[in-house]
Structure 1
Amino acid sequence: MKHPIKKILEKRNLGMPSGIPSFCTSNSIVLEAILEYYLYSEEPVLIECTANQVNQYGGYMNMTPSDFVEYLHNIADKVGFPKDRIILGADHFGPLVWADKEENEAMENAKELVRLAVLAGYSKIHLDTSMLLGTDDISKRLSDEIIAKRGVELYKVCEEAFIERCKKFPNSIHPVYVIGSEVPIPGGEYDEKETLNVTSAKDFENTIRIYDRIFKENGFDDVWENIIAIVVQPGVEFSNYDIHDYNRNESLELCEKLYEYPFLVFEGHSTDYQSPIKLKEMVEDGVAILKVGPALTYALREGLFSLSLIEKEIIKDDDKRSNFIEFLEEVMINNPKDWKKYYQGNELEKELQRKYSFSDRSRYYMARQDINEHINQLFENIDSNNIPLGMIKQYFPNLFLEMKSQQNSNAKNIVKINIKNVVKDYDYAVKN
């Protein structure tokens, strides 16, 4: 069976600028919203998790790769979404989580991670070996040679794991792979003071040349049948305060060079918060895999905050309110590990970043049981009251017309509609 992403490459070679969004999230409400959006289409949906979220030691979701598959499939069953239309993706799978370890230990952990992913049925693997490890010289940029050498080691493990998987599941789809050295950190973020440099056509070709040589040195002669994308920096990124919009003129030389490699597309990371038009331009220019993550959970947080403001007006007894905004802030202050090194400035500036930063570090707290208890209390409080349509217009102005025709929608659905508006932008971008 042909991998669905390979069909996208075939369409592109026929002159149709097709693409696919890569929804990189593990939040259950967000995943419900994504699967509901595509429920009545026939398109595959690419859901990815990062090595930070899911790994053999649990990650911040406390899940192994197979645990995440079960978790996602349970959500699909709840929505009624066909599981065979889900493409499972592994994002930044490599030594990322163990970058502070010496090379042998970090790479052994990375090999076990990708092995477990393939065995669990992940069929789109981002082999990310772009980071410095504990024994690397931090004064120098990691060479493309070392990046490729480590990437090929992981590829070998994946291929062996696929053979093992096929013994149990003979109809498994062969994985496709994404490589490349110009990889933004998971979740995005760049310094507004720094210049954002688009990958040069020369560096793109150098990545292919070096990988090709090292693959062949390791006995992989037909590897480009399985590698479908290179991660590049096409000129998009976001930070706590800023969004760097796509400018196709800046990436013109890079994108023109892609025409010489019809078996490849670009994968664009950190495409969050780009306008629908900019996203469509990226797909037209060859950035056919559009990765999005924080923008989805930002829409979740945005919706929850708006409901919290409604709650403050309709629930006068403070003891009965969820006080979600205040509780989330309290939890983040008492557990600063997942935001402290990312948010700088005075106390007010850090407070505003915890709430409204585009990097949305609050997403790391949304899987906590106490946070979900407050979310459920918020939903119950909203649903137990008749919310005037005028309040919906006040707090959800972008959703007002849609909500006007769905006056019986519950609180959770209101939040999911906010998330689906982000999904809609990506769906528009990849359509012919």
Structure 2
Amino acid sequence: MKHPIKEILDKRKQGINSGIASYCTANNIVIEAILEYYLEKDEYVLIECTANQVNQFGGYTGMTPADFRDYVYDIADKVGFPKDRIILGADHFGPLAWADKSESEAMKNAKELVRLAVLAGYTKIHLDTSMFLGSDDTSKKLSDEIIAQRGAELYKVCEDTFLERIEKYPNSIHPVYVIGSEVPIPGGEYKEKSNLEVTSPQDFENTVDTYDKIFNEYGFEDFWDNIVAVVVQPGVEFSNEDVHDYDRTDSKELCRKLKEHPNLVFEGHSTDFQFKEKLKEMVEDGVAILKVGPALTFALRESLFSLSLMEKELIKNGTERANFIELLDNTMVTNPKDWKKYYHGNELEKELQRKYSFSDRSRYYISRNDLNLCINRLFENIDSHELTLGLIKQFLPNEYIEIRKGNLTKEAALLVKFSINNVLNDYKYAIEK
């Protein structure tokens, strides 16, 4: 069977602006909403995890690659979504989680990580070796040669492991790979609009040429048949309180250079919060893999906050409320590891960032067991009351309109998923043929 992403490349060669959204999330409510959204659409769904979220030591989710696969598949079974329509992706898989270690230790861990991913059936692997490691000389730019050499080492492990996998699962789809040297870090790195630089056509060409040279030196055959995308910076990013919108004039020359490589597309990271029209322009211009993550959990948190404010109106006894907003912030304050390096300013500014930042560091906390129990209680409290349309209009105006139209019911979980679906609608619009 041909890999679905290769089919996208085939369509693009025919002049069809085909693309795919890459949903990078580990949140159970978000994944459930995604699979329900695509259930009747007869399309593949690409769900990815990062090396920070999932690795052989558990990551911040506590899951290995096989655990994450089973986690996604369990949700698929609950929804009734066919598992053979799920593409499992490994994002930033490489030495990222061990960048403070020496090259030998970091790469040893990275090789084991990609090995486990291929064994577990992941078929889209982002070979990310773009970061400095503890033994690197940080006084000079990390060369394309070093990045490609480390990528080649990981590629070999993946290919060798796939041969091992097909002995047990003969119908396994061969993985495809994403490479690149100008890779934004997970969660974004953009601070000011003025310092965001689009990848130059020459840098893109140098990346392709260097990987070609190094992979040939390693003796790999037909490797360009398996490499489908290069990560570039097309001019999109977001910070705590700002979004850099895509401007196709800025990336015009870069996208023109891509046309010289018809077997490749661009993968765009940090496409969150772009207008749907901008996302569609990106797909048209060759950024055919649109990665999104924080925008999904931002929508989840946004709607949960709205329900929590409704709960305060409905239940006056504070001890009977779920008090989701308060529990989430107290949890983040008590466990600041996953946000303290990213949120700055006085106490009020940090509190507002914990709640409303586009980077959405709250996603590191919402999946905790105590927060999940709190969300369940919030849903129960909301569903135990007859919600008036006026109350819904005040806190969930978009949902109010759909309820008035008869397209949505007042069930709490559905109100939350509607908010997530608004993000999915933007990506569906972008990749529609």
Match of 2:229, SS?
strand
How far, CA to CA, are the matches of 1:406 and 1:228 in structure 2?
39
CA distance in 2, matches of 1:34, 1:407: 17
The answer to whether the 8 Å contact 1:51/1:97 transfers is yes
Q: Specify the alignment match of 2:427 in structure 1.
A: 426
Gaps spanning 5+ residues in structure 2: where? none
1:207-259 per-position Cα deviation (integer Å, ceiling 9, x unaligned): 00000000000011310000000000000000001000000000000000111
Residue by residue, what CA displacement relative to the aligned partner does 1:362-408 show, whole Å, maximum 9, x if unpaired?
00001211111111111110010011011111111122222331564
Structure 1 counterpart of 2:8, one-letter code: I
Which secondary structure state, in structure 1, belongs to the residue aligned with residue 60 of structure 2? Answer: coil
Query: Which deviates the most, 397-406 or 336-345?
Result: 397-406
Aligned residue for 2:22, secondary structure, equals strand
Cα distance change, pair 407–388 in 1 and its aligned pair in 2 (3 A): farther
Greater shift in the superposed pair: 406-415 or 210-219: 406-415
C-alpha separation between the residues in 2 aligned to 1:47 and 1:55?
16
Q: TM-score, normalised by structure 2?
A: 0.99
- Asked whether the 8 Å contact 2:387–2:410 carries over to 1, the reply is no
Aligned to 1:332: 332
Matched AA of 1:354: R
Aligned residue identity for 1:351: E
- 2:303 matched residue in structure 1: 303
Asked if the contact 1:236/1:246 (under 8 Å) is kept, the reply is yes
Verify the 8 A CA contact 1:189 1:359 in the aligned structure 2: no
For residue 193 of structure 1, report the CA deviation from its aligned partner: 6.3
Name the structure 2 match of 1:198.
198
Q: For the structure 1 residues 193 and 256, does the alpha-carbon distance in structure 2 shift closer, same or farther, using more than 3 Å as the test?
A: closer
Q: Given the alignment of the two structures, is residue 176 of structure 1 paired with residue 158 of structure 2, yes or no?
A: no
Letter in 2 for 1:375: I
Q: Judge conservation of contact 1:166–1:172 (CA < 8 Å) in 2.
A: yes
* 2:416 alignment counterpart: 415
Q: Which residue of 2 aligns with 1:248?
A: 248
Give the letter aligned to residue 418 of structure 1. S
Once residues 368 and 308 of structure 1 are traced to their aligned partners in structure 2, the CA distance between those partners, rounded to angstroms, is 18
Question: What is the rounded CA distance, in whole Å, between the counterparts of 2:115 and 2:141 in structure 1?
Answer: 28
- Aligned position for 1:73: 73
1:257-336 equivalences under 5 Å are 257-336=257-336
Distance 2:181 2:293 in 1: 20
Instruction: Tell me the CA shift for residue 25 of structure 1.
Output: 0.2
Query: How much identity, in percent, do the aligned residues show?
Result: 71
Q: What is the aligned partner in structure 2 of residue 222 from structure 1? A: 222
Shift of 1:188: 1.6
Q: Is 1:188 matched with 2:223?
A: no
User: Which amino acid letter does the alignment assign opposite residue 391 of structure 1?
Assistant: L
Contact 1:354/1:360 (8 A) holds in 2: yes
Q: 1:108–1:37: structure 2 CA closer, same or farther, 3 Å change rule?
A: same
- 1:263-288 CA-to-partner distances (Å, cap 9, x unmatched) read 00000000000000000000000000
Letter in 2 for 1:316: K
Distance 2:376 2:407 in 1: 21
In 2: Cα distance, 1:80 partner to 1:242 partner: 38
Q: Which residue matches 1:148?
A: 148
> Would you say how many aligned residue pairs link Structure 1 and Structure 2?
432
Paired position in structure 2 for 1:40:
40
Q: Where in structure 1 do 4 or more consecutive aligned residues deviate above 6 Å?
A: none
1:235 aligned residue? 235
CA distance in 1, matches of 2:358, 2:408: 30
Shift of 1:194: 4.8
> What is the rounded CA distance, in whole Å, between the counterparts of 2:42 and 2:409 in structure 1?
28
Which whole-Å CA distance do the structure 1 matches of 2:193 and 2:123 have between them?
Answer: 38
Secondary structure of the equivalent of 2:289?
Answer: strand
Shift of 1:28: 0.3
Amino acid paired to 1:82? P
State the distance in 1 between where 2:403 and 2:2 align.
40
SS at match of 1:60: helix
Q: Distance in 1 between matches of 2:73 and 2:408?
A: 30
**Normalising by structure 1, what TM-score?**
0.99
In 2, the alpha carbon distance for the partners of 1:115 and 1:221 equals: 20
Letter in 2 for 1:98: W
- 1:144-169 CA-to-partner distances (Å, cap 9, x unmatched) read 11000000100000000100000100
Which amino acid in 2 is paired with 1:239?
A: S
Q: Contact 1:189 / 1:240 at 8 angstroms: preserved in 2?
A: no
Task: Tell me: CA distance 1:407–1:292, structure 2 relative to 1, closer, same or farther (3 Å).
Answer: closer
Per-residue displacement from partner, 1:101-126 (whole Å, max 9, x unpaired)?
00000000000000000000000000
SS in 2 for 1:385: coil
Indicate the residue corresponding to 2:28 in structure 1. 28
- One-letter code of the match for 2:395? Y
Amino acid of the residue matched to residue 411 of structure 1? A
Alpha-carbon distance in structure 2 between the residues aligned to 1:409 and 1:218: 59
- Alpha-carbon distance in 2 for matches of 1:277, 1:408: 29
Paired amino acid for 1:424: N
The CA distance in 2 between the partners of 1:184 and 1:408, in whole Å, is: 40
